[in-house]
């Protein structure tokens, strides 16, 4: 078995390097170099020589296989990039409606003699209905699937998608006469989803669907944010955890007869993997569990490193670019961490337990269960934490507690949902009863996630250098703990040191906010706006919206709570558009808000205002009179709406002053409304201007710049199709002598005034 490991592990490492690091032009020469090293290794004798040869040829295979995938998949897609051709496509999954109203579906598409997996977009009012197996024909314009939200990304490649095709509503659809065998699991997944939505109560049905199919679209944004914050998001992304649950159910139902149980469990896992779309984490777990079940049947001993390396090798063999997929990286990192860490921790935490009977026996079993859960969670977190920290910029401190408290309920809900879905095929009434019963553990999961997520330090936002230094220090301490010779204190001392350094890092992160006279932070929320004005004793947030991957309410709350602020004294909404107010609901879930100031305009979000009132927030609506607020030496002037007709022009503008420093925020008002602000606002010279409307050409007028003479200009902007920030605006700011900063290029923008 280990011979296989010495080939597959280097091959996988080579694929990762070829996909994530190496230029495509280097792959064939490097493959030849590795092959040459393998030939030269023939002169090495013994076990060491055999390992070197296997590793060299494994590296050669990995590099050349990736180069072949580039030639076979990426280059043909590049030839279609930017062209328009007739096409024929077979729909391979259920379509979705995009935020712009068009229909998107994954298809196997043929155009100009090339067949590739693509995303097909159909626009227009008379869009046809699409079902898996249907054939679509027409003419489309093609783009290489190498970008995501305007940024170069391997996201689509990792999911085996190489092109995007845009066609109009005139595309013709030919319904499938019969569903192909390969697409039947997709229909079964849809049937299971519909059955669960019918059987489970409305509050838990989305969770049941997410657990069994991986479809998270039904979960409310706030629910998913809570799960992410407390380290439970993995339970709604189908993974090895669900395969373990499924395998456990098979073992309990069909006993320990090895051959029969192995065949039934392997079949169930294969069906589950097909229904969930063949996610890498599910395929990895199904393969490894199958090897565990088959090893005793075949009279072989299961070797975990070899099984893990072989599972990864087979997945990369199917699509080398899946190495860039976050799901695959997290899945294999978690299993590798469990193999390395969990078993030694479990033995250390339970090895001292005595053999007991009665009450003591029950207590010992409870402790063993807790130790198993904690050691597994700790092992999974060891190698996945750096990946999640770099990908999402957060670190969940409450994750071990959340997993210990909820995994039993997750397992029960998952098993119950699968049973309910099967029962629904012959008796929807009985399925409804089962759904009501198994909704109870689901509610417990949601209740725990919401409650734990409200804790101020349930997770820390890694947006400060001190916290990244702390995280690196924790791993250094972990290495020292492994090398420490004193068995009793080898992990106790590093653990205590990690807690102490975390407190020091949080203190160092919070000190600048509490010592500066005024701190203005323009948060990076994508295409939107959220600006913090903080003095040592007060916190003001102007707007809370955007389209970043993380909910803008979570971005604002994470920034403030990591710096020791658990309350927003004043929240000012310049207007109610989603890019300025879309994160308020989640902010109210996470933090106390004292006063909400908003415009009394034609377009009002009454639901949002009701949510604020229910949370105990005072409401102040401005229509004609300005509002002047004084907080800890900072004076806020909130100007009432000065325009009419459009929501942007009916918004508020804000002037913040502390000492000789002034900051002006104009929301999304246009140049005409800016002229009225100049006429009636009595504006001073301003040191910092948060450019209006995300740098639009129709805001930040020359007249405004000449009147207020700003020294710095901050532009809150993300990927967009509007052309923000406009070159005209950038030129006006540059000619006015402003130092220009944008959140898209620099992340959070912080200005401190003593």
Lowest mean pLDDT among 195-209, 278-292, 585-599, 659-673: 278-292
| pLDDT mean over 152-171 | 88
Q: CA-CA distances (angstroms) from residue 209 to 203, 226, 419?
A: 12, 17, 13
Residue 281 inside a domain? The answer is yes
Same domain assignment for residues 10 and 97: no
Gap between the Cα atoms of 616 and 593, Å rounded: 8
Residue 676 has pLDDT above 70, yes or no: yes
Same domain assignment for residues 115 and 196: no
Residue 101 inside a domain? The answer is yes
The answer for residues whose C-beta is within 8 angstroms of residue 440's C-beta and 6 or more apart is none
Residue 180 inside a domain? The answer is no
Q: What is the count of structural domains for the chain?
A: 6
- pLDDT tens string 171-200: 888 998 888 888 888 898 898 899 999 999
Q: What is the pLDDT of residue 128?
A: 75
| pLDDT mean over 580-587 | 94
Chain Cα centroid distance, residue 733 = 35
Write down the pTM of the prediction.
0.85
Same domain assignment for residues 226 and 367: no
Residue % of the chain over a pLDDT of 70: 91
Residues 186, 132 contacting (CB under 8 angstroms): yes
Lowest mean pLDDT among 279-283, 292-296, 359-363, 669-673: 292-296
Q: Where are the alpha helices (DSSP H) in 184-279?
A: 184-199, 205-213, 221-229, 240-254, 258-275
Residue 229 inside a domain? The answer is yes
Same domain assignment for residues 391 and 402: no
Helices (H) and strands (E) in the chain, counts: 27, 25
Among 140, 174, 208, the domain-final residue is 174
To which residue do tokens 């590793």 refer?
A: 55
Q: How confident is the model at residue 703 (pLDDT cuts 50, 70, 90)?
A: very high
| pLDDT mean over 415-425 | 88
Lowest mean pLDDT among 126-135, 267-276, 481-490, 595-604: 481-490
| pLDDT mean over 238-254 | 67
Q: Structure tokens of 461?
A: 């936002």
Residues 481, 490 contacting (CB under 8 angstroms): yes
To which residue do tokens 């920030």 refer?
A: 725
- pLDDT tens string 254-291: 665 566 777 777 777 777 777 777 666 677 677 777 76
Q: Structure tokens of 343?
A: 């078993």
Residues forming beta bridges with residue 103, ordered by sequence position: 97, 122
| pLDDT mean over 377-391 | 82
Q: What is the pLDDT of residue 482?
A: 66
Residue % of the chain over a pLDDT of 90: 46
Residue 490 has pLDDT above 70, yes or no: no
Residue 179 inside a domain? The answer is no
CA torsion 149-154-158-164 (nearest 10°) is 50
Same domain assignment for residues 565 and 682: yes
CATH number at residue 626: 3.60.15.10
Nearest one of 659, 647, 544 to 597, comparing CA atoms: 544
Nearest one of 693, 689, 688 to 724, comparing CA atoms: 693
Among 28, 55, 73, the domain-final residue is 73
Q: How confident is the model at residue 100 (pLDDT cuts 50, 70, 90)?
A: confident
Same domain assignment for residues 163 and 20: no
Same domain assignment for residues 601 and 747: yes
Q: What is the pLDDT of residue 500?
A: 84
More confidently predicted of 645 and 636: 636
Q: How confident is the model at residue 238 (pLDDT cuts 50, 70, 90)?
A: low
- pLDDT tens string 493-535: 667 777 888 888 888 888 888 888 899 999 999 999 999 999 9
Residue 487 has pLDDT above 60, yes or no: no
Q: What is the pLDDT of residue 576?
A: 93
Among 13, 41, 73, the domain-final residue is 73
Same domain assignment for residues 155 and 203: no
Give me the domain span that covers residue 493.
Answer: 466-510
Residue 593 has pLDDT above 80, yes or no: yes
| pLDDT mean over 643-666 | 87
Same domain assignment for residues 208 and 354: no
Same domain assignment for residues 726 and 622: yes
Helix, strand, coil content of the chain in percent (nearest 5)? 55, 15, 30
More confidently predicted of 643 and 262: 643
DSSP 659: T
Q: Structure tokens of 405?
A: 């408290």
Q: In three state form, how does the secondary structure of 125-194 look?
A: CCCCCCCCCCEEEEEEEEEECCEECCEECCHHHHCCCCEEEEECCCCEEECCCCCCHHHHHHHHHHHHHH
Q: What is the pLDDT of residue 519?
A: 94
Residue 388 has pLDDT above 90, yes or no: no
The answer for residues whose C-beta is within 8 angstroms of residue 115's C-beta and 6 or more apart is 108, 109
Residue 297 inside a domain? The answer is yes
More confidently predicted of 739 and 371: 739
Residues 524, 558 contacting (CB under 8 angstroms): no
| pLDDT mean over 578-599 | 94
Q: How confident is the model at residue 368 (pLDDT cuts 50, 70, 90)?
A: confident
Average pLDDT across the chain, whole number: 86
Q: Which residues of 304-321 are buried (b: 16+ CB within 10 A; e: fewer)?
A: bbbbbbbbbbebbbebbb
Q: How confident is the model at residue 448 (pLDDT cuts 50, 70, 90)?
A: very high
Gap between the Cα atoms of 645 and 668, Å rounded: 13
More confidently predicted of 286 and 441: 441
Nearest one of 369, 357, 395, 715 to 527, comparing CA atoms: 715
Residue 629 inside a domain? The answer is yes
Residue 631 inside a domain? The answer is yes
DSSP 574: S
Same domain assignment for residues 190 and 86: no
More confidently predicted of 640 and 330: 640
Same domain assignment for residues 155 and 194: no
């Amino acid at each position: 078995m280990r011979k296989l490991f010495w080939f597959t592990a280097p091959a996988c490492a080579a694929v990762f390097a070829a996909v994530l690091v190496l230029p495509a032009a280097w792959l064939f020469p490097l493959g030849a170099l590795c092959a040459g090293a393998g030939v030269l290794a023939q002169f090495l004798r013994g076990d060491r020589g055999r390992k070197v040869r296997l590793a060299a040829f494994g590296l050669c295979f990995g590099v050349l296989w990736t180069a072949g995938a580039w030639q076979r998949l990426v280059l043909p897609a590049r030839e279609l990039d930017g062209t328009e051709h007739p096409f024929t496509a077979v729909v391979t999954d259920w379509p979705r409606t995009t935020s712009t109203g068009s229909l998107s579906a994954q298809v196997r598409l043929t155009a100009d003699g090339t067949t590739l997996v693509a995303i097909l977009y159909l626009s227009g009012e008379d869009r046809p209905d699409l079902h898996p197996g249907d054939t679509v024909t027409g003419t489309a314009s093609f783009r290489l699937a190498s970008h995501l939200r305007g940024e170069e990304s391997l996201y689509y490649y990792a999911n085996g998608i190489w092109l995007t095709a845009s066609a109009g509503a005139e595309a013709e659809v030919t319904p499938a006469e019969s569903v192909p065998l390969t697409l039947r699991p997709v229909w079964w997944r849809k049937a299971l989803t519909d059955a669960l939505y019918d059987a489970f109560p409305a509050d838990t049905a989305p969770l049941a669907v997410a657990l069994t199919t991986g479809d998270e679209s039904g979960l409310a944004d706030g629910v998913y944010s809570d799960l992410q914050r407390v380290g439970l998001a993995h339970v709604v992304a189908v993974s090895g955890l669900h395969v373990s649950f499924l395998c456990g159910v098979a073992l309990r139902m069909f006993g320990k007869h090895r051959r029969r149980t192995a065949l039934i469990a392997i079949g169930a896992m294969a069906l589950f993997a097909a229904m969930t779309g063949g996610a890498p984490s599910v395929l990895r777990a199904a393969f490894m569990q199958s090897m565990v079940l088959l090893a005793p049947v075949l009279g072989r001993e299961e070797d975990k490193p070899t099984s893990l390396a072989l599972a990864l090798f087979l997945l990369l063999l199917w699509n080398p670019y899946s190495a860039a997929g976050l799901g695959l990286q997290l899945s294999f990192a978690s299993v590798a961490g469990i193999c390395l860490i969990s078993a030694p921790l479990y033995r250390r935490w339970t090895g001292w337990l005595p053999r007991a009977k009665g009450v003591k026996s029950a207590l010992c079993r409870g402790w063993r269960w807790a130790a198993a859960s904690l050691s597994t969670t700790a092992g999974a977190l060891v190698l996945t934490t750096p990946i999640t920290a770099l990908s999402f910029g957060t670190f969940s401190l409450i994750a071990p507690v959340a997993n210990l408290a909820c995994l039993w309920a997750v397992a029960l809900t998952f098993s119950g949902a699968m049973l309910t879905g099967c029962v629904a095929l012959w008796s929807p009434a009985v399925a409804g009863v089962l759904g009501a019963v198994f909704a109870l553990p689901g509610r417990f999961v949601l209740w725990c996630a919401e409650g734990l997520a409200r804790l101020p330090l349930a997770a820390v936002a890694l947006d400060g250098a001190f916290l990244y230094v702390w995280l690196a220090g924790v791993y250094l301490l972990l290495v020292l703990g492994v090398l420490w010779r004193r068995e009793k204190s080898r992990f106790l001392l590093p653990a205590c040191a990690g807690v102490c350094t975390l407190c020091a890092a949080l203190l160092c992160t919070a000190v600048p906010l509490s010592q500066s006279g005024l701190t203005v932070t323009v948060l990076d929320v994508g295409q939107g706006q959220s600006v913090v004005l903080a003095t040592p004793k007060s916190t003001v947030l102007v707007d809370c919206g955007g389209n970043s991957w993380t909910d803008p309410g979570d971005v604002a709350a994470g920034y403030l709570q990591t710096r020791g602020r658990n309350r927003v004294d004043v929240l000012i909404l310049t207007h109610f558009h989603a890019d300025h107010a879309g994160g308020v609901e989640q902010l109210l879930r996470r933090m106390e808000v004292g006063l909400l100031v908003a415009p009394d305009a034609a377009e009002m979000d009454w639901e949002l205002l009701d949510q604020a009132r229910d949370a105990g927030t005072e409401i102040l609506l401005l229509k004609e009179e300005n509002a002047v607020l004084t907080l800890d030496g900072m004076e806020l002037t909130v100007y009432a709406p000065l325009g009419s007709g459009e929501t942007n022009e009916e918004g508020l503008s804000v002037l913040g002053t502390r000492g000789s420093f002034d900051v002006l925020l104009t929301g999304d008002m246009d140049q005409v409304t800016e002229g009225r602000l100049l006429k009636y606002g009595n504006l001073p010279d301003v040191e910092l201007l948060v450019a209006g409307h995300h740098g639009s050409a129709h805001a930040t007028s020359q007249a405004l710049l000449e009147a207020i003479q700003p020294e710095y200009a901050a532009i809150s902007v993300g990927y967009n199709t509007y052309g923000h920030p406009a070159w005209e605006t950038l030129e006006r700011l540059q000619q006015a002598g402003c130092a220009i900063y944008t959140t898209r290029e620099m992340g959070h923008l912080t200005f401190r005034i003593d």
